[in-house]
Structure 1
């Protein structure tokens, strides 16, 4: 079953607010609304989401345009980084590098990449089992666990080179198309603005961004 995984676009960061409560920024919300207006997510699609505010913001915009509801699950959330709390961007990038480089180890108490991958894969598998045949499935989530999911589907080792910032556009707001049961990534991380409207039905998808 073909599905679309979306990472949330730009967010409003606040060191005094828990990371899972950060909302989309004005820019991120505008991107989400413009994406919804393009009709890439068709009416009747099942929309699954992490329960983190930024992912829910994206999911709710899409649900409003498709006339469906959001099915949220905390197990679709980003890797647990609560042990360190907010990290300035430069330090966060160094921590993320280590998170991907050493998937069997924990960075200062963070959820291990290997554990976060097992969690997101099983959660997505369970969600897809509830989707009726012929119904588009869309997941609204995060760049980190999205990359871990993509690595599993593609059958490649956990590696930050598969992250959205390396494969798609920077700043978040990317998507990839996949078939979990067949272990195929049909379209690699692609900015929201470039995702094809026929992703669910097209027999072939933009070769320029197919995972290699």
Structure 2
């Protein structure tokens, strides 16, 4: 049985004046990736990643440590929030709450949750057809949660979102079956 893992990038260096997709990992985020690499990683056949810098900075060292190819994919990006760009934390959380609660609306010009869910689900399904063996997907918490909801066959709901702490969460599933558990810290991979 094949296993797939979805990992959200860990903590980032927030730079309000820089485009969000260009943010890199913070020192804490890089340290968490290094700690994960120092452990026994699953035997992966491929690592797929969003094109965003923070995701690639997470995925590349994991692919290298696993001696498997890194497959960057544009369709694995976070929900498009370019209409607002950086939002202060409390404003972001309020907007994200609405994004999940109103999945068919362009909340503040963001990509709809339903459209982002279709995109990430199609990307993962296509990737699973391209490879055999266990696969790691490295991306973002928002679309990861949307993927989780689709895999579980539940309505989009923020209660399935990763826990607080700035990312670095993972869930896994046996391909063809829904995930048995929710998000966990990446150190459990």
Check whether TM > 0.5: yes
Displacement of 1:45 after TM fit?
2.6
In structure 2, the residue matched to 1:186 is 180
Q: Is the 8 A contact 1:41 1:62 kept in 2?
A: no
In structure 1, the residue matched to 2:104 is 104
Displacement of 1:149 after TM fit?
0.2
Q: Hey, what's the Cα distance between the residues in 1 that align with 2:32 and 2:109?
A: 33
Deviation per residue, 1:31-63 (Å, 9 max, x gap) = 011111112232x53100000000100101101
Deviation per residue, 1:188-212 (Å, 9 max, x gap) = 20101223xxxxxxxxxxxxxxxxx
In structure 2, the residue matched to 1:5 is 6
Please give the residue correspondences for 1:53-64 in structure 2 after superposition, counting only pairs within 5 Å. 53-64=53-64
In structure 2, the residue matched to 1:203 is none
Q: Identify the match of residue 175 of structure 1 among 170, 176, 185.
A: 170
Q: Hey, what's the Cα distance between the residues in 1 that align with 2:176 and 2:59?
A: 24
Q: Hey, what's the Cα distance between the residues in 2 that align with 1:61 and 1:30?
A: 12
In structure 2, the residue matched to 1:143 is 141
Displacement of 1:69 after TM fit?
2.3
In structure 2, the residue matched to 1:200 is none
Displacement of 1:171 after TM fit?
2.0
In structure 2, the residue matched to 1:209 is none
Provide structure 1 residue ranges, at least 5 long, that are not aligned to the other structure. 196-212
Q: Is the 8 A contact 1:153 1:179 kept in 2?
A: no
Q: Hey, what's the Cα distance between the residues in 2 that align with 1:37 and 1:6?
A: 17
Q: Is the 8 A contact 1:179 1:185 kept in 2?
A: yes
Determine whether 1:163 maps to 2:164. no
Determine whether 1:38 maps to 2:32. no
- What secondary structure does 1:6 align onto? strand
Q: Is the 8 A contact 1:15 1:86 kept in 2?
A: yes
In structure 2, the residue matched to 1:21 is 22
Please give the residue correspondences for 1:105-144 in structure 2 after superposition, counting only pairs within 5 Å. 105-132=105-132, 135-144=133-142
Provide structure 2 residue ranges, at least 5 long, that are not aligned to the other structure. none
In structure 1, the residue matched to 2:89 is 89
| Pairs aligned (count) | 188
Instruction: Say what the alpha-carbon RMSD is for the aligned residues.
Output: 1.2
Q: Hey, what's the Cα distance between the residues in 1 that align with 2:113 and 2:174?
A: 21
Q: Identify the match of residue 152 of structure 1 among 150, 154, 170.
A: 150
